[in-house]
Structure 1
Amino acid sequence: MSRIIQSLSQVSPDYDVLFCDLWGCLHNGKQAYPAAVAALQGFRAKGGKVVLMTNAPRPNQYVIAQLDRMGVPRDAWDLVVSSGDAAQEAMFSGAVGHKVWHIGTTKDDGFFDDIPAEWRDAPAIQRVPLAEAEGIVATGPFEELTEKPRDYHDRLMEARDRGLPLLCANPDIVVDMGETRIYCAGALAEYYEGLGGTSLYFGKPHAPIYDRARRLLDLSPDARVLAVGDGIFTDVKGGLDQGVDVLFVTGGLAADALGPDVENPDNALLLDWLGGHGMTPQYSIGRLR
């Protein structure tokens, strides 16, 4: 059974580190949630460490710049780790070849152009048309506000027939940008797998992003970690797979299924919903606060 709590402070003394999701927990893609910011500041003020862990398909400096624009203060976090960071390492190591077809928007150009120091002497990654590609890098749809995975059916069938691997820079399936739900690279990768293609993942719920966070924060093996997030198959599954406790934020992606009050999930609906997904996070909360 998942225990519904009203504030992070009810359980925070039991933890040294938070692995906290961004979209749906700290902000909605357009503006920060003040109560969530205050909760993270309070955790750090008592000696805790906060890792903002996001499936954004961009290096962390671009995520930090976005947080700055939203007015998220720097004293709310210690470290930002993105799926883009972990996926970049794989791409520059040649995981899907060095000539790649990029599915994504120009806002993700930094994934290719901002080369980490340790990879600057590696063979260059070239973005080429699908017909010339050795592999695919997906950071999201070309037109994220309007396109769906099935819009890529013919092109992905061609890629499958040629045996091209797809590197997914963001395993999220959907996110809510304000009031608009948009598809992410994870939806394209999942669709490609459904066609018989091969997709490679590096963000939540997969291990590389957690390994990177632990390495950069130099966490001791006995550090008490709480994973916080609203994605049942990314944040919750990832935390449980890592063997850490999880705080599920019900007022994000799952809000419509859990009762009329986004701040206070219906306990019976929550238990049924979690049971249907085969997940049992230790705690649940309407909004991070």
Structure 2
Amino acid sequence: MTEGAMRAIESLDEVLAGYDALFCDVWGVVHDGVASHAAAVSALTGARRAGKRVVLLTNSPRLAGGVERQIAALGVTRDSFDAIVTSGDATRALIEAGSRRVLHIGPERDLDIFDGLGLQLEDETGAEAIVCTGLFDDRTEDPETYRPLLERCAGRGLPMICANPDLVVHIGDQLIPCAGAVAAVYASIGGTVHLAGKPHAPIYDVARRVVGEGARVLCIGDGLMTDVLGAVNHGADCLFISHGIHRDELVEVIGDPILLSAELLARGVHARYVMPALR
């Protein structure tokens, strides 16, 4: 991967020839939590027709089957991807290796992450570890809501496994906090946090098994500290989707690849290509 000014591209087709596989982010790139992005779905479908393997790589705490059902309801067609690899899938191995007595922080819809692991879900007094998949109610709470609970857990030395390293996600035009924001609070007060999703190695290890170790991979995503940093850590090229989660934050440089590249480098990351939205 070459550092420096990103190449602005108009279509994914422009760069496909250099790669065997795509690791594509889901939320913010393929859909916005309300509906799919038709152009993105079409681009991925076209990549598969061109013989490329497409893995949807998401920091969702849900398992792959749950994500597949979710995105199908939003209009993401099955012919646009070969496989889905989730943070939830990669996180299960961390959960399985830990304590059997777990405090779950997150909504009930995420409980399938524990299926078949033989765990006992506890309140904070009986737990020996925390698994955080999100906030109980991400529309009315924020991560600071959990500080008193987290301080008590940190005082007991409970490790936390975070099933979704993302800090926030767009649902339509609204920013919603994710499990990573709760984990950040826990880390700030001295709690131990273990992560398996982007940008950390476990989720890429799972995805690599789908496409083969020798495959030339292009990572696609809109998260600087998840998708772009993950590509850097993985030694892969990255296509940065600039009008995603950072669109307001980067508004002053977003239209200039040179200035945008400098801003990314100041944050310790870099990407090879940039486009506003996947198409």
TM over 0.5: same fold?
yes
Instruction: Indicate how the Cα distance of structure 1 residues 104 and 272 shifts in structure 2: closer, same or farther if over 3 A, else same.
Output: same
Aligned structure 1 segments of 4 or more residues deviating by more than 2 angstroms: 257-261, 264-269
Could you tell me how far 1:142 is from its partner in structure 2?
Answer: 0.9
Give runs of aligned pairs for residues 22-171 of structure 1, distance below 5 A: 22-93=26-97, 95=98, 97-113=99-115, 115=116, 124-171=118-165
Distance 1:270 1:59 in 2: 34
Residues 1:245 and 2:245 are matched in the alignment: no
8 Å contact kept, 1:258–1:265: no
Could you tell me how far 1:265 is from its partner in structure 2?
Answer: 2.9
8 Å contact kept, 2:6–2:257: no
Distance 2:165 2:223 in 1: 11
Residue 85 of structure 2 aligns to a residue whose secondary structure is strand
Where structure 1 has 5 or more consecutive residues not aligned to the other structure, the ranges are: none
Distance 1:103 1:26 in 2: 27
Write the deviation string for residues 22-65 of structure 1: whole angstroms up to 9, x where unpaired: 00100001110000001001111110000000000011000000
Could you tell me how far 1:92 is from its partner in structure 2?
Answer: 2.0
Out of 173, 176, 179, the position equivalent to 2:173 is 179
Residue 47 of structure 1 aligns to a residue whose secondary structure is coil
Partner in structure 1 of residue 264 of structure 2: 274
Distance 1:255 1:186 in 2: 20
Say how many residue pairs are matched.
275
Residues 1:257 and 2:261 are matched in the alignment: no
Could you tell me how far 1:273 is from its partner in structure 2?
Answer: 2.4
Distance 2:219 2:64 in 1: 19
Instruction: Indicate how the Cα distance of structure 1 residues 84 and 6 shifts in structure 2: closer, same or farther if over 3 A, else same.
Output: same
Write the deviation string for residues 108-152 of structure 1: whole angstroms up to 9, x where unpaired: 121123x3xxx5xxxx21111011100100000111112121111
Distance 2:88 2:182 in 1: 16
Instruction: Indicate how the Cα distance of structure 1 residues 175 and 48 shifts in structure 2: closer, same or farther if over 3 A, else same.
Output: same
Distance 1:239 1:139 in 2: 23
Instruction: Indicate how the Cα distance of structure 1 residues 134 and 197 shifts in structure 2: closer, same or farther if over 3 A, else same.
Output: same
TM-score by length of 1: 0.92
Residues 1:7 and 2:11 are matched in the alignment: yes
Q: Which moved more, 1:175-184 or 1:265-274?
A: 265-274
8 Å contact kept, 2:21–2:211: no
Distance 2:185 2:10 in 1: 37
Where structure 2 has 5 or more consecutive residues not aligned to the other structure, the ranges are: none
Residue 39 of structure 1 aligns to a residue whose secondary structure is helix
Q: Give the letter for the 2:17 counterpart.
A: P
Q: Give the letter for the 1:78 counterpart.
A: D
8 Å contact kept, 1:21–1:54: yes
Q: Structure 1 vs Structure 2: percent identity of aligned residues? A: 44
Could you tell me how far 1:259 is from its partner in structure 2?
Answer: 3.5
Write the deviation string for residues 157-209 of structure 1: whole angstroms up to 9, x where unpaired: 11111000000000111101111101111111111011000000000000000
Partner in structure 1 of residue 194 of structure 2: 200
Q: Which moved more, 1:42-51 or 1:249-258?
A: 249-258
Distance 2:252 2:140 in 1: 28
Residue 125 of structure 2 aligns to a residue whose secondary structure is helix
8 Å contact kept, 1:259–1:266: no
Distance 1:90 1:269 in 2: 39
Q: Give the letter for the 1:107 counterpart.
A: R
Residue 261 of structure 2 aligns to a residue whose secondary structure is helix
Distance 2:109 2:161 in 1: 18
Instruction: Indicate how the Cα distance of structure 1 residues 272 and 218 shifts in structure 2: closer, same or farther if over 3 A, else same.
Output: closer
8 Å contact kept, 1:250–1:285: yes
Partner in structure 2 of residue 283 of structure 1: 273
Distance 2:234 2:48 in 1: 23
Q: Give the letter for the 2:272 counterpart.
A: Q
8 Å contact kept, 2:143–2:182: yes
- CA RMSD, Structure 1 to Structure 2 (Å): 1.5
Could you tell me how far 1:276 is from its partner in structure 2?
Answer: 2.7
Could you tell me how far 1:266 is from its partner in structure 2?
Answer: 3.4
